[in-house]
Amino acid sequence: MHVSDLQTIRYSYSPKLPPAIAGAVNSIEVSKGGPTESVADQAALKDVFEHTYGQPVVELVAGSTEHDAPKRTVGVILSGGQAPGGHNVIAGLFDALKAAHPGSTLLGFRGGPSGLLNNDAIEITADHMDRYRNTGGFDIIGSGRTKIESADDFAQSAKVCRELKLDGLIVIGGDDSNTNAALLAEYFRAEGVTTNVIGVPKTIDGDLRNEHIEASFGFDTATKTYSELIGNIGRDAASARKYWHFIRLMGRSASHIALECALQTHPNVCIVSEEVEAKASTLNDVVDQICESVRLRAAKGMNFGIVLIPEGLIEFIPEIKKLIANLNDLLAHESDAFSRLQSDAERIEFVSGHLQGDLADTFTSLPESIQAQLLDDRDPHGNVQVSRIETEKMLIEMVEAHLKQDAEQGNYSGKFSGLAHFFGYEGRCAFPSNFDADYCYSLGYTAFLLLSSGLTGYIASIRNISRPATEWTAGGIPLTMLMNMEQRHGSKKPVIRKALVELDGAPFREFASKRDAWKVETEFSSPGAIQYFGPPEVCDQPTLTLKLERA
């Protein structure tokens, strides 16, 4: 790829590390806490993870004596959707591995977990690594969504790790990929494979977090990129005064991205899926909520506005959530018959014929385009691919119809012209912000230190990240601690529990305290482009979500 001027200058950025691990790499020690439990379903998970359940939380501390480290071979996989900073995770891993022993080797599995199954790896050399430092994207080795699932997959993974004599395998991924990492760690322990498996929390969605994982990487840069675009659209809307912009934002089930962007940009309406679910709101309630803002603003002569919609909204509307759960089971159980159907019309007819009562009514009440999108292939983890469901277009149509009725009843005399946008891919490969550049590098460095300390079945954790990097700490969280059992592909499976927006959490409460004013007035805020050079107030700030949560 062509190297831009910014990229050339970013190559020389030196990411910051938590002080405890910034010293001599071979003197770092591990401080261990007590045994841990999973977030739920402890008994079932103890059975699945016989060898790795309940390990302690660990913190990395600077030791006083340096010891000799062996030459190691470590493999790395980028898994799932792109998130800014992935290259810096690999850079941190590479630098720690080489600092511990310059003769060590880093192998990158190409194209995600399938690279491991196919033993498709390349050696990442110093020159190769240098071309990717502080850049966005996952193109250094590519990513993929293959799930390591069957007994054959596990046996093949073990075979490849043995053949390559891997001391460690780093899985950079979201909740599903880190679930895979936990299962691999358990399998390797059970089978006597000496490869330690460590996960790294990646996803722009921000839903892989808890008390110990304060943020997944990429959320910071992605939300700043979307907020820049939304801010620009807000300025355009306030200048032209003729469009309502409906902007759907990536994030899968969780509304963290939409909420952070709302806090940054002050839209007239931001739907939060978790609130929709808690209030058991119907699709019509959501439409009413938007129409209220349109009417109030029209009465003040403002026939323009901004609506933010989280991409997972449709899954949280109770009647549609129930429908999706039934569709998932139906498609899993009838997969052979379903896969033989050729057209959307045939698939819709097949499904309508198999659904009963209310479920059939809900399905048939949806526009045909949405019906077809709900029947699109699931991802390899059994999730509906919500990024393909064009809720923003559906909502524009429904708002239009609702306002027409309002106008007929004399309750509305404004003009409504809706424009649909979807922001997702635009933010996933941006140059990582300084925060993500530092955070990712620290995560990669930590991942190496965890595996070289003999740990397996852990996820790297950098803490205190709402503070400057000089106050960060580094450690590891046992993956089983983050897990529960969930229905997937028609049966109960161990998975890392997704963190959704908490309605009693500080970010949502802040939004809720402001939204009544934003609904009527034009208080759009334009945060502008990510700044890489300049004063820390504009270059090194974490997200508002993180600041509010950790205040």
Please give the positions annotated as active site: 205
Q: Decide whether 196 or 373 has the Cβ nearer to ligand FBP.
A: 373
State how far the Cα of 167 lies from the Cα of 71, in Å rounded to an integer: 10
Q: Which residues bind ligand FBP (CB under 6 A)?
A: 80-81, 83, 174, 203-205, 250-252, 311, 386-387, 424, 428
Q: DSSP 3-state assignment of 247? A: strand
Least separation in angstroms between residue 103's CB and ligand FBP is 34
DSSP 217: B
> Do 78 and 180 form a contact (C-beta atoms < 8 A)?
no
Longest CA span, the chain:
82
Q: In the complex with ligand FBP, which residue's Cβ is closer, 83 or 298?
A: 83
C-alpha distance from residue 418 to each of 68, 285, 393 (Å): 65, 19, 9
Contact 344, 352 (CB under 8 A): no
Minimum distance between the CB of residue 385 and ligand FBP, rounded to whole angstroms? 6
Query: Angle at the Cα of 291 (from 290 to 294), degrees rounded to 5?
Result: 95
CA gap 445, 467 in Å, rounded: 19
State whether residue 483 is helix, strand or coil.
Answer: strand
Least distance (Å) between residue 428 CB and ligand FBP: 6
Tokens describing residue 502: 């908490």
Query: Could you give the angle at the alpha carbon of 544 between the alpha carbons of 543 and 550, nearest 5°?
Result: 95
Is 427 strand, coil or helix?
Answer: helix
Q: What is the Cα–Cα distance from 297 to 293, expressed in whole angstroms?
A: 6
Whole-number minimum distance, CB 168 to ligand FBP, in Å? Answer: 22
Closest to ligand FBP by CB, 95 vs 205, is 205
Element (H, E) at 550: helix 544-550
**Closest to 183 (Cα-Cα) out of 480, 484, 490:** 480
Report the distance separating Cα 254 and Cα 209, nearest Å: 12
**In sequence order, what DSSP letters do the residues of 351-362 get, joined into one string?**
HHHH--HHHHHH
Nearer to ligand FBP, 98 or 421 (CB): 421
Q: Which is nearer to ligand FBP, 414 or 424 (CB)?
A: 424
| CB closer to ligand FBP, 252 vs 266 | 252
In the complex, what is the shortest distance from the CB of residue 523 to ligand FBP, in angstroms, rounded to a whole number?
Answer: 27
Smallest gap from residue 226 Cβ to ligand FBP (A): 11
Q: Which residue has the tokens 């004596």?
A: 65
Q: Which two tokens stand for residue 410?
A: 């004399």
CB 327 within 8 A of CB 315: no
CB of 545 to ligand FBP, least distance (A): 16
- Of 81 and 267, CB closest to ligand FBP: 81
Q: Backbone phi, then psi, for 173, in 5-degree steps?
A: -165, 180
CA distance 92 to 445: 4
Please say which residue, 418 or 424, places its beta carbon nearer to ligand FBP. 424
